[in-house]
Structure 1
Amino acid sequence: MSKAQKIVVGISIGDINGVGIEVILKTFEDKRMLDFCTPVLFGSSKTISIHKKILGVETNVQGIRSLDAIVHGKINLLNIWKEEASVQIGKATKQGGNYAFQSLDKAVKALQEDAIDVLVTAPINKETIQSEDFPFSGHTEFLESHLEGDSLMILMNDALRIGLITGHIPVAKVAETITPELIEKKVSILQQSLVRDFNINKPKIAILGLNPHSGDNGVIGKEEEEVIKPTIQKIKDDTGWMIFGPYAADGFFGSGTYKQFDGVLAMYHDQGLAPFKALSFGNGVNYTAGLNKIRTSPDHGTAFDIAGKGKANADSFKEALFTAIKVHQNRSEYKELTKNVLTAKS
């Protein structure tokens, strides 16, 4: 891959008191990573230097003043604040959240303007980042408000992709939020993503039930019989897609049935993420499907308890980086293959 062809990966540094900067620096300690992409960090040379000193790492970072000055073969850092931020490793502070937002905001604007090809986000603290500019429950909702399309959160590894019908909402609101229209929309996003982003021609998708034992034919809740099953049948009748379910979540994962499918849709956050992280914590990737731009992140949070101690594992961040690159390549190939598709004359 030539320098001109290298994918430019924008990286928001996350909460400056967490492990985000550590996993970024550890990822690029291996200079071979620069053979796959050109990274651009959105942050501050001073802040990065503080972390390097605390961690005792020597990863070289190239400061740039504008995105026009990106240097291939280097770890680029766009300085977006000049002051020396107060880094309080391992602590959740409002200032840490403020700088996390500044980094994310600048990175997303660069993504919108095609100054970067893809975005990889380091972890934020959802409480300290809250402000008038960020009244969102997470990255996914912020990205959906700034980019085109409808989002679908997918947690994934090589063997499993789990999307969420409902995302960051209270459990008490899950049942009332699940409607035929929402299920149809999320299935459509997952179907399109599996074809376009993961190069799966005829994906098989499983849908989980909402209630224990998938409702036991109405004995434990009516949602499966009244909403979920009819909607699955309608989707199959209308599209011919290979959609199956609803499956009882416990047996579905416990028996390994998930291995038979290219994608899974869970009804709510913990129904999907709890088994995923039990099966794959530290190696998974959070991918935001359905948008016109590509964003991934590691499957862990700020990990304040181990921040600054050199203990953070960079594997999930590396996987997020490689996933973003691969999805970009797959989308480019898909666009090329479909741009001149002949349509039958009426």
Structure 2
Amino acid sequence: MKTLLEVKNLRKSFDHKSIAAIENLSFELLQNEIVSIIGPSGTGKSTLVKMIAGEIAADEGSILFDKNISIDNFKNNFSYVPQELSLDNSKTIFENIGTHLIEENEEKRHHAIRDMIEVFGLQYKDHKYPSELSTGQKSRVEMAKALVTNPRLLILDEPFANLDRSLRNEIKSELVEILKERKISALIVTHNLEDAFSHSDKIMVLNDGGIKQFSPAREVYTRPADAWVAHFTGPVNLMAGTVGEAKTDEFQQTNKLDTFTVPCYDKKINSGDFAYMLIRPEACVVSKEGKYKGKVKKIIHLGPTSEVWLQIGGIERFKVSASLSDTVVINRSVKFDINIDQCQLLSI
């Protein structure tokens, strides 16, 4: 697939400690690819997309579109939606949507705006003003305003931050469908991991102004680059122990729980090393005949499943996942098995 955006050795530093710096950052965005940018607050996510959008200048490095087009010559081909709502309260919804639409033919212009009104379910709202709309409706107008020009690249900075979960999922699904249908690439900054994993082709994990991992969305969760990424992307058990005999893409490891033969994708690990065994809660299956047993210390209800914290010997907090049909009670024992195929070794 053709590369749409190429960022090379990007660097940006600030005098203000509250604004994150970017250090020697490089990546490529393909055509018709949706990439979510995640990371802790203040790690450079907004700084990065503002540089790509031309809102702030980089100190060093290059940002190229189609391999050789500079950002100044590409401006008509992308839309940038900042964190703050950018609607003009003195204009109607119809007028707001057409803000950046350059179309001399009035009939074509009117049709393009009406098309976005239909796509985002804003019928009968076109002559209203932003102050008359709900937060969800305003977000739809922002998306319509950004997409009415049919850009090749859409840059969104926390687009769903102020929406409740149900509304966020609804608008997110509408947006992704349009992006795929119209072959629009997207860079989306988000703090919401559920959003990132559910709508992205790839995820970029930022920390301290650099890329910790840039991989397909599923791989970021199932094969995190290191222990920090594993912790950041979801609940995890990291069992430290000595690595023993090596097999093809597997090592033996002994930890406080047991001795396991574990998949290993980390090329830095060798026999004799001290390493982590990564066990996600969902890799632990509650079963009456389970091999392992722990006392329930805490239950976190997550709707269809629960995250259960167990005390197992000297292990004070071991997390497993339980379904609605599993009987788990505080201070009672529960048995479980571990799907080793869902685990892996990580460097310490």
Fold in common (TM above 0.5)? no
**Bigger fraction of residues in strand:** 2
Query: TM-score when scaled to structure 2?
Result: 0.29
**Larger of the two Rg values belongs to structure:** 2
